[in-house]
């Protein structure tokens, strides 16, 4: 079976939800309402099998002029260990480069997986002016990036990781 990675379409949203929903019961991913997926469909890439079934997904959510977050990276149980997750993450990082971003954030239990892609446990401080701007966002991902206390119940056990992308000068 081959898989194709492409930008998600609104018609893929229910497939994304079917893929992600079981992972929300185990706490691997946070649950979202269908409307949230529709609102952010342009952020998603999907991996589809030969029958067009969504078997993997991932999103790149821009948070600031130089920063984005990898969100909702998921692969169907039957395809874990095949490299599909790595292909999806590489495609999301390529998208970040195309957008001119310099850093990509993730909040994950899969530290080893993301480390293989150059992510490091986050220790960097956020510039105070940027921090104050980011505080104005209602987005939970930004709250997670800032390590705000109000998101702690959702992030227990997760690791905040960051990757710096190569610049055009590198």
DSSP code string of 42-96: GGEEEEE-TT--EEEEEEEEEEETTEEEEEEEEE-GGGTTTTHHHHHHHHHHHHH
The pair of three-digit structure tokens given for residue 94, joined into one six-digit string: 């390529």
Nearest alpha carbon to residue 83 among 27, 12, 3: 3
pLDDT exceeds 70 at position 152: no
**pLDDT value at residue 169:** 61
Question: Are the CB atoms for 104 and 96 separated by under 8 Å?
Answer: yes
pLDDT exceeds 80 at position 91: yes
Report the range of poorest mean pLDDT among 36-40, 50-54, 125-129, 134-138.
Answer: 125-129
134-162 burial, b at 16+ Cβ within 10 Å, e below that, comes to: beeeeeebbbbbbeeeebeeebeebbbbb
Please, what is the average pLDDT of the chain?
Answer: 88
Residue, of 131 and 98, whose pLDDT is higher: 98
**pLDDT value at residue 160:** 86
Distance of CA 87 to the CA centre of its chain: 13
pLDDT exceeds 80 at position 102: yes
**pLDDT value at residue 115:** 97
**pLDDT value at residue 62:** 94
Q: Which fold has domain 4-164?
A: Aminopeptidase (3.40.630)
């Amino acid at each position: 079976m081959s898989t194709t990675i492409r930008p998600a379409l609104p018609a893929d949203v229910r497939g994304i939800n079917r893929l992600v929903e079981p992972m929300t019961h185990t706490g691997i991913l946070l649950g979202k309402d269908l409307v949230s997926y529709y609102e952010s469909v342009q952020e998603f890439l999907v991996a589809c099998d030969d029958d067009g079934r969504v078997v993997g997904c991932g999103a790149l959510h821009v948070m600031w002029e130089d920063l984005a977050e990898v969100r909702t990276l998921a692969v169907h149980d039957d395809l874990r260990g095949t490299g599909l997750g790595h292909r999806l993450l590489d495609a999301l990082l390529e998208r970040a480069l195309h957008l001119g971003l310099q850093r990509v954030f993730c909040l994950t239990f899969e530290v080893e997986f993301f480390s293989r892609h150059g992510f490091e446990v986050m220790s960097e401080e956020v510039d105070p002016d940027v921090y104050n701007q980011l505080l104005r966002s209602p987005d939970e991902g930004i709250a997670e990036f800032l390590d705000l206390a109000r998101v702690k119940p959702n992030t227990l056990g997760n690791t905040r990781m960051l990757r710096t992308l190569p610049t055009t000068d590198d």
